[in-house]
Structure 1
């Protein structure tokens, strides 16, 4: 009986010691580290951003890129964006499908306001439309709608839109959408002093505007009859 009892105690001790074996410790540490890194990877790169509440301050401060798909262009300087983290490598376009129903997209897309520019105002609430407002909408719709784009979010404006820089790939390279609108004279450099976001491109944007003005492209063809979007808002929305 004593021998049997001694053997059982020895087996228990060996079992207890086995949990402290270096290989077991290394395996446990590896699993824990892998789990932590996988969670961080998912949070930073693979978690879909579906609302402004999903954005953390670091994304707005560190030029964090979000890749996705334009589902609808709402105006001359804003659009709806469906975030597709990981792109084709995470299954988007073949394993995962982008919704097409507007009722679903409304709650799963981000409203993006192009940084650094203002497009002519369309007719709203009985107010007259500005010249070239429909041209700006048509141009932006043809340029980015139903296309893959990359955005860099900078801030959130008073209408809960994400003010962001937007890039789209064309046959001749990657294009800054705000810059292209300025180049074509269908937008001007943002006039407001509050909430203005340019990234590092304010000087470049202003030079593009000057060039469009010199060649009288788009809205600049109106000459002295031009009312900027900022002036329009003062007259028709603020009564100034």
Structure 2
């Protein structure tokens, strides 16, 4: 059943072809801007954050490939979930013979797969064709990168699901969405690799769950992190966030039942 739900999420986003084409163009343009900014910065500070220029370029294009995949700025299934809570349609979801959290997780995985293939691959290929990139040559590293992506997707969903559940109490999710966007863009490393921040501040950022979305997959791809350590970090945050989502969901649905909604 959940595989069918994921397939439905994939098909739904595949229908927005004009939006996908616009997203590919936007990510490619922003990638070009960021690459030249990074190159200028790395000219002044070689090996900033432990990266050379080729690794910095790789980081930029990987971030552009994963931006929509991980819904770092928001706009994934959490947007639909908050809308359904606000309108009361969430009651239909609660009546389904399916787990609410797993239902939305499957939907989000389908969405993410389409965004990766439909919007993420082209900017990454453009970067690889026109800029020197630090890409692995062995299949094992690519396989480890895929695992890091899957774990990162679960972490990303766990964060956004928790934010979305606040709509049970707040009803209006605009403020939550803005907070989620700011935290996602900054703490994931989209603006600058988390390795490049000063030691104390950087260590705090690298310990937060957002690091599992861009920083950790990038380090796995470029051989800057041990696979076991990276997977353990992502899996721990995925389990913690999904568990917290379960607790908040239970509290929220009890509240709905008590109110008769």
TM-score bucket of the superposed structures, by smaller chain? under 0.3
Normalised to the residue count of structure 2, the TM-score between the two structures is 0.26
Larger radius of gyration: 1
Normalised to the residue count of structure 1, the TM-score between the two structures is 0.27
**More strand, by proportion:** 1
**More helix, by proportion:** 2
